[in-house]
A and B are shown apart, each in its own frame.
Chain A
Amino acid sequence: MPVLRYEGRSYALQANESVLDALLRNGVRAAYSCKAGSCGSCLMRATEGVVPARAQAGLKDSWKVRGYFLACVCRPESDLTVTTVGPDVQLGATITALDLLSHNVMRVRLRCDAPLDFRAGQYITIVREGGLARSYSIASLPDESDLELHVRKIAGGKMSGWLHEVAKVGDRVSILGPSGECFYVPGKGDQPMLLVGTGTGLAPLYGILRDALRHGHHGPIHLFHGALHKNGLYLVEELRRLAEMHRHVAYTPTVLNGSESDGMAVGPIDQVVLKRFPKLNGWRGYICGDPALVQSLKKKLFLSGMASRDIYSDAFLPSAQTP
């Protein structure tokens, strides 16, 4: 079995074990969140040995050549020496605003110490001391001065609880990223677009919608934002105004429980969407938020004719529990 070297110690890797799992098994406090190779929290660097390609998928080329890899999906086939990443990949940021958008959604604005090269709809991972790391989608556009995140308060949630109840303007955090493939790709400006999200799934969609308009997208854009009750919707007035200003933009707030008033649709959001648009050949779709909804709606859009390569999504998976 290959041997893993870290901070001067050697650990025998078990069959098919990831670098992250081996470190955690041996009591090393390593940072991680999604454990699926996407959030970037467990980024490490190899100083000796061969990193399997899978563990570098999606990383910048400049990072690959320097040996950066994701520990959660790195299953070495031969001996590997690794180190934690320094502050050169984490970016410092200052909280510049904290505003409640609804009873349980906080808009967090961050100013990064250096410009961050991102696309609206991608996500960053906020890291606090002690290795607590959570991903949040970017609702702002690159030319806006601050990053905008929408954070839903989760009962007992470590990061969301901190951002809602403890954090103050001026506090410092570190961020990793950006990551994610769910963003507006310019071209095909006349393609009809469907944007569907529940809860803070609106955050990336709010960014993607405005980014599409910024790029002059002129095909119809339909945004459906779903919540259990009316009080779970937010940015309603802003989105209504946006739809009024652009004739090709439509906004449909959707609630599971409530009455059809003020232009709101009522019912399960997937049914509302598919009843409105039963045929989706040639469309492009963005689906964000609740993982179960994202999974099932992707399949339904596909079966309604949307091409698999035109479906973009971000499932807001909860962070993985310790093994």
Chain B
Amino acid sequence: MQPTTEQSLFEQLGGEAAVNAAVDIFYRKVLSDDRIKHFFDDVDMDVQIAKQKAFLTMAFGGPSNYTGKDLRTGHAHLMERGLNDSHVDAVIELLGESLRELNVPEHLIAKVAAIAESARADVLSR
């Protein structure tokens, strides 16, 4: 990494406050989306909200301790239930829609999508 005086993506998005603003909007979309909501059926909401925040923090380029291996093991039980590319596409799409509702500029949304995209192989254990 080059040292830089520019703001990081996470800072540009608004940091933790942005995660808190986005989490309800994003999670409501996830729970209402017929393509993916079944993956989130059997889990406690408070736990899920915490995990969604972990996901968003990571996608926003924020501080995150998740390794590729964590993402593999974290989604392995979902692979058994048929997790595939179309579901990752849906998540990235809903992420974009959520940020648009919060009036985040398109060039930042593209950066967030790229970070989520870069996790695809790990999430799908490839």
**Residue positions of A touching B, CB distance < 8 A:** 295, 298-299, 302-303, 307-308, 311
In contact, A299 and B31 (Cβ under 8 angstroms)? yes
Query: Are A303 and B31 touching (Cβ within 8 A)?
Result: yes
Besides A295-B45, A308-B23, A311-B45, 5 more A-B contacts (Cβ < 8 Å) are A298-B46, A302-B24, A302-B31, A308-B24, A308-B49
Total number of B residues with any Cβ neighbor in A under 8 Å: 10
Q: Is A295 in contact with B28, judged by CB distance below 8 angstroms? A: no
> Is residue B44 contacting chain A, with contact meaning CB distance below 8 A?
yes
CA distance A299 to B47 in the complex (A): 12
- Distance of B102 from chain A, by nearest CB (Å): 15
* Residue contacts A-B, CB under 8 angstroms, 22 given: A295-B44, A295-B45, A298-B45, A298-B46, A299-B31, A299-B45, A302-B24, A302-B27, A302-B28, A302-B31, A302-B45, A303-B28, A303-B31, A303-B32, A307-B24, A308-B23, A308-B24, A308-B27, A308-B45, A308-B46, A308-B49, A311-B45
Chain B positions within 8 Å of A302 at CB level: 24, 27-28, 31, 45
User: Helix, strand, loop or mixed for chain B's interface?
Assistant: helix
In this complex, what residue of B is CB-closest to A301?
B45
Closest beta carbon of chain A to B24's beta carbon, Å = 5
Contacts of A299 in B (CB 8 A): 31, 45
Q: Chain B nearest CB: distance from A304 CB in Å?
A: 10
Q: Which of chain B's residues 27-50 have a Cβ closer than 8 Å to chain A?
A: 27-28, 31-32, 44-46, 49
Query: Nearest-CB distance from B94 to chain A (Å)?
Result: 14
A303 to B48, CA, bound (A): 14
Contacts of A307 on B, CB cut-off 8 Å?
24
Across the two chains, which residue of chain A brings its CB closest to B40?
A299
Closest to B31 in A: A303
Q: What distance in Å separates the Cβ of B55 from its nearest Cβ neighbour in chain A? A: 15
Q: Cα distance A234–B23 when bound, in Å?
A: 39
* Contacting residues, chain B, for A298 (C-beta < 8 A): 45-46
Task: A308 to B19: give the CA distance in the assembly, Å.
Answer: 13
Q: Kindly report which residue of chain B lies nearest to residue A307, judged by CB atoms.
A: B24
CA of A303 to CA of B49 in the docked complex: distance in angstroms? 13
Measured between beta carbons, the chain B residues less than 8 angstroms from A311 are: 45
Q: Which of A298, A299, A302, A307 has the most CB of B within 10 A?
A: A299
Contact residues in A for B32 (Cβ distance below 8 Å): 303
Q: Which residues of A contact B31 (CB under 8 A)?
A: 299, 302-303
State the 3 A-B residue pairs at the shortest beta-carbon distance, nearest first. Answer: A298-B45, A308-B49, A308-B24
